Every structure is written in C-alpha cells, then in structure tokens.
Amino acid sequence: LFHPFLDDAEVQMVGVEAAGHGIETGAHAASLTGGKPGILHGNKTYLLQDEDGQITEAHSISAGLDYPGIGPEHSWLHESGRVEYLPITDDEALEAFQLCTKLEGIIPALESAHALAALPKLAPKMRKDQMILVNVSGRGDKDIFTVADALGVKI
C-alpha cells in the first residue's frame, strides 16, 4: 500500500505494530518500537532480541502479527523517517474489531483491526479536508474464537 505514495511528500504514511500487552511488558510483537537491529534469515532488520542477540518470543492476539521481526523494507522506511509506526495493543485491536463489526457489519481480521485501532489516534489531528486510507484485508470470521476467548465469551 505504501509504494505508490513513497515519492509524494504530501502523503503522511503510518503503519501499525502489534504492541500485545504493551511495549513496557515485553509481551508484544512491535519490533520497530521495542526491538533493535539484528540479522534473521539473512536479513538485517529490527528484531525482538535479548542482549546476546538471541531472538525473544513475540506476542500478539493476532497470529498473523505474532512474529519477532519485520521485513527489511519496513525497517528502511522506519529508519528513513518516511513512515511513522504506531504500537497498537491487543485491547485496542479488540475494541476496533468490535466497533467495526457493530457499526459497519464488517468482521475485520485481527491484523486489520490493529490498523483500524490507529484511527482514533490519527483522525483528531487531521484537517477536515484530509482523508485516511486504511488497508483492511483478510476475514475476521477466522478470528471469532480468539476474540471470544479474549473477551471471556463462551461460544
């Protein structure tokens, strides 16, 4: 989604990371916010790792975001300052999941719910003539049991 807008300086680009239970807890998958540069699978990228460079366990309610690293392109976009990355917690993603489902009738994938959760942080800072484009991909029906479990709902 970023590529077509990279050269347009008027477009602010924001990505989200899975902050799990919170960056300060260590139980997250936000490698840009809470990680440091390292090598994994032959790529220099940002990783969740200990002081010896050993990869540490990541956590996210979303299985698709539960990974201790990030692709090298996002690492470059982060280092260059072209993209701002926001950490979104499991609770924030769950709230966005529920709101989207109730208000729009769309069950978003938990991965996309993280992106939707960034909207209340971004929209109040914008002018009325600006717009937000959010990439909502995947299907949330695969996540309903995970969401129900997290909310304490028995299905």
CATH number where 77 lies: 3.40.50.1100
Q: Is residue 2 in some structural domain?
A: no
User: How large is the average pLDDT for residues 131-150?
Assistant: 95
User: How large is the average pLDDT for residues 127-134?
Assistant: 96
Q: Is residue 3 in some structural domain?
A: no
Per-residue pLDDT tens over the stretch 25-84: 999 999 999 999 999 989 899 999 999 999 999 999 999 999 999 999 999 999 999 999
In which band, very low, low, confident or very high, does the pLDDT at 1 lie, cut at 50, 70 and 90?
A: confident
Which residues constitute the domain of residue 89?
Answer: 11-151
Looking at the whole model, is its pTM more than 0.75? yes
User: How large is the average pLDDT for residues 111-140?
Assistant: 96
Q: How many domains does the chain have?
A: 1
| Cα–Cα distance measured from residue 13 to residue 76, given in angstroms and rounded to the nearest whole number | 14
pLDDT of residue 124: 97
**Sequence-ordered strand ranges (E) for the chain:** 13-20, 36-40, 43-47, 83-89
Q: Is residue 76 in some structural domain?
A: yes
* Distance (Å) of CA 44 to CA 75, 103, 110: 9, 41, 27
Q: Is residue 47 in some structural domain?
A: yes
Q: Is residue 53 in some structural domain?
A: yes
User: How large is the average pLDDT for residues 3-14?
Assistant: 95
Give residues with Cβ within 8 angstroms of 5, minimum separation 6.
11, 13
Q: Is residue 101 in some structural domain?
A: yes
| Cα–Cα distance measured from residue 134 to residue 127, given in angstroms and rounded to the nearest whole number | 17
